[in-house]
Amino acid sequence: MTYDPSNIFGKILRGELPAHKVYEDDTALVMMDIFPQSRGHTLIVPKAASRNLLDADPATLAAVIPLVQRVARAAKAVTGADGVRVAQFNEAPAGQTVFHLHFHVIPAYDGVPLGAHAGGKADDAELIALAKDIAAAL
C-alpha cells in the first residue's frame, strides 16, 4: 500500500481543510479529534508522509513520541482525566480510517466508558476551548 496524499489529514496539513489546531511545528500538527471518544481526544499528526507506523521513517517516530507524551500530559491536566489512552492503528482491519500516520491521545475518566471510534461529532465551541487550554498546558 502506498501513501495517498488525498487523505483528510493530508488536506488539513496542506491547509485545504480546517482543524482545531493545538500546536504546530516543522515536524508535526496537533489537533482535536472532531469525533472524540472522550472529552479532550487529541491527534498528533507527523508532517512526513506515511500511511501509518508500518511505512514510517524511524526518525519520524523518534521525533514524534516526545510530543505525544507532552500532549498526553497536557490533555490529562486540562481535562482532569484519571488516565490517558494512547492509540495508533495500522490499516483498515486494525481500525485505521485515515491513512496518514497519527497518534490518538484519549483522556479516560473513572467510571466513564470511552465512546465509539470515530463516533459522534463534537461541539465546535467545546473543541475550540479544549484546543486553547491544551495548547496553554503544553
**DSSP tag of 84:** E
The yes or no reply on residue 34 touching ligand 5GP (CB under 6 A) is yes
First to last CA, the chain: 35
Of 16, 65, 80, 97, the one binding ligand 5GP by CB under 6 A: 97
Question: For this structure, is 41 an active site residue?
Answer: no
- The Cα-based distances of 113 to 37, 38, 97 in angstroms read 9, 9, 21
| CA 18 to centroid of chain Cα atoms | 14
Joined grid coordinates for residue 102: 497519527
Q: Which residue is nearest to ligand 5GP (CB)?
A: 35
Smaller CB distance to ligand 5GP: residue 19 or 130? Answer: 19
Shortest spacing between CB 122 and ligand 5GP, in angstroms: 9
Smaller CB distance to ligand 5GP: residue 34 or 56? Answer: 34
Cβ atoms of 63 and 19 closer than 8 Å: no
The yes or no reply on residue 109 touching ligand 5GP (CB under 6 A) is no
- C-alpha–C-alpha distance, residues 54 and 116, integer Å: 24
Instruction: Write out the residues near ligand 5GP by the rule CB under 6 A.
Output: 8, 19, 31, 33-35, 89, 95-98, 118
Question: Which residues are known to be catalytic?
Answer: 102
